[in-house]
Structure 1
Amino acid sequence: MDRMSRTNPRASVHRTVEWVDTDASGHQHNSAIIRWVESAEAELFLRTLKLPDYFPSVPRIHQEIHFKKKLWFGQQITATVGISKLGRTSMTYAFEIHGHPHDGQDGGLAAFGTVTVAHVPPGSAKAQPWPAAVVDAVTSTEGTGI
């Protein structure tokens, strides 16, 4: 089941599971998932949507990860992030991490989940409405299949 709308903005990155990404048994450490998600988030907001001011103002307020398969040292992965909800002061994006076939093992969905961020501009102590540039960038690409 696709957890991300194919009509909302999305972006992917491709990585190799490095030794530093693994635990003592050679499969991914749980923290590697969120690092790959954040790389895809940067791809989406900096390079696809061209919103360089997004990052200094988006603390995470919730994240949820469901682990489905192990990913192994040397395995290729694809991390995809897609915006699933834009609220007045928050945004939720869904993500999926897929492993590619490796050492005789099938690939497939390894992890999925959501991350919710709030817009808290520098100098503010609480969430504020999204700037028009963010709303425009996110909503103008709907329907393009990014």
Structure 2
Amino acid sequence: MEGNDGGLPEVCIERTVEWVDTDAAGHQHNSVIMRWVEAAEAEMFRRLELPEYFPSAPRVQQVINYRAKLWFGQRVTARLSVQQVGRTSLTFAFEVHGHAHKKSPGGLAAHGTFTTAYVPADSDGAQPWPDHMRAVICGAGVQSARAGKA
């Protein structure tokens, strides 16, 4: 796992645009961008060893800006970073880049942000992040998450 300039976690994953990821026009369906971003999010929290994040971090906002088409068979890289750690929320930034392909020179295909809130199972609303989760996300545990995990 990499870290961004602020020392917050960042991760990249690679995928291939599969047939199921395309729409009738032959390029990626709009929804596939968030599936790849969510796959990067899952990888990030596996590497941080925080499985308890997922059942308690619903989306409260997301923005996607589409810049270029991605085509069946094209390789893509999804980069996700924690942009801001709030008292009860996390804001992530992401970019999805296409690699060179016969129908595209590659480059930035989509970018955006999304925010999750910490809502534990026994709560009806957002609560402050637990200290141990905040410590890992803010860097106290990132070095151990990086060690031995490429």
How high is the TM-score relative to the length of structure 2? 0.88
Percent identity at matched positions?
A: 53
What RMSD, in angstroms, separates the aligned Cα atoms of the two structures?
1.8
Q: Is the 8 A contact 1:96 1:113 kept in 2?
A: yes
Q: Is the 8 A contact 2:59 2:117 kept in 1?
A: yes
Q: CA deviation at 1:142?
A: 9.3
Which residue of 2 is the match for residue 43 of structure 1? Answer: 43
Instruction: Say if 2:91 is the partner of 1:67.
Output: no
Which residue of 2 is the match for residue 94 of structure 1? Answer: 93
CA deviation vs aligned residue, 1:82-117 (integer Å, no higher than 9, x gap): 000000000000000000000152111100000100
Between 1 and 2, higher relative CO (CA 8 Å, sep ≥ 6) is seen in 1
SS at match of 2:92: strand
Q: Is the 8 A contact 1:8 1:141 kept in 2?
A: no
Which residue of 2 is the match for residue 29 of structure 1? Answer: 29
Amino acid in structure 2 at the alignment position of 1:73: F
Structure 2: runs of 5 or more not aligned: none
Q: Distance in 2 between matches of 1:81 and 1:61?
A: 17
Structure 1: runs of 5 or more not aligned: none
Q: Kindly report which structure 2 residues correspond to 1:78-93, keeping only aligned pairs within 5 A, or say none.
A: 78-93=77-92
Equivalent pairs counted in the alignment come to 141
Q: CA deviation at 1:5?
A: 3.9
Q: List structure 1 segments (4+ residues) > 3 angstroms apart after TM superposition.
A: 4-7, 141-144
Q: Distance in 1 between matches of 2:118 and 2:49?
A: 17
